[in-house]
Structure 1
Amino acid sequence: MSERKTDEIRTAACSCGSFRLTVKGAPERVYACACLECQKATGSAFSYRARYSKDAIALDEGDRRRFRRLNDAGMWMDQVFCPNCGTILYMEAEVINDKLVVSVGCFGEPDFRAPASIYWSRRRHAWYEPDGEIDLIE
Structure 2
Amino acid sequence: MTTHTGGCQCGTVRFEITSAPILAYCCHCTDCQQQSSSAFGISVWFPGSAFRLTSGMLKTWVTQGESGNQKSCTFCPDCGTRIYHAFPDESDTFSVKGGSLDNIKDITPIAHIWTKSAQPWLKARLTAEHCFEIEPDDFEGLITQFNKL
1:1-138 aligned within 5 A? 7-57=1-51, 59-60=52-53, 61-71=55-65, 75-109=69-103, 111-128=105-122, 129-131=125-127, 135-138=130-133
Q: Please tell me the root mean square deviation across aligned C-alpha atoms, in Å.
A: 1.9
Contact 2:6–2:102 (8 Å) recurs in 1: yes
Q: Which runs of 4+ in 1 moved over 6 A?
A: none
Equivalent position amino acid for 2:28 in 1: A
Contact 2:111–2:130 (8 Å) recurs in 1: yes
TM-score (norm 2): 0.78
* Larger relative helix fraction: 2
Contact 2:85–2:96 (8 Å) recurs in 1: yes
Percent identical among aligned pairs is 25
Which consecutive unaligned segments of at least 5 residues does structure 1 have? Answer: 1-6
Equivalent position amino acid for 2:41 in 1: S
Contact 2:6–2:100 (8 Å) recurs in 1: yes
* Larger relative strand fraction: 1
Question: Kindly tell me: are residues 18 and 135 of structure 1, through their superposed partners in 2, closer, same or farther at Cα, counting changes over 3 Å?
Answer: same
Structure 1 CA distance, aligned partners of 2:131 and 2:10? 34
Contact 1:78–1:93 (8 Å) recurs in 2: yes
TM-score (norm 1): 0.83
Equivalent position amino acid for 2:112 in 1: I
Shift of 1:111: 2.0
C-alpha deviations, 1:30-70, integer Å up to 9, x for none?
0111111111111111110110011222x214222112112
Question: Kindly tell me: are residues 119 and 93 of structure 1, through their superposed partners in 2, closer, same or farther at Cα, counting changes over 3 Å?
Answer: same
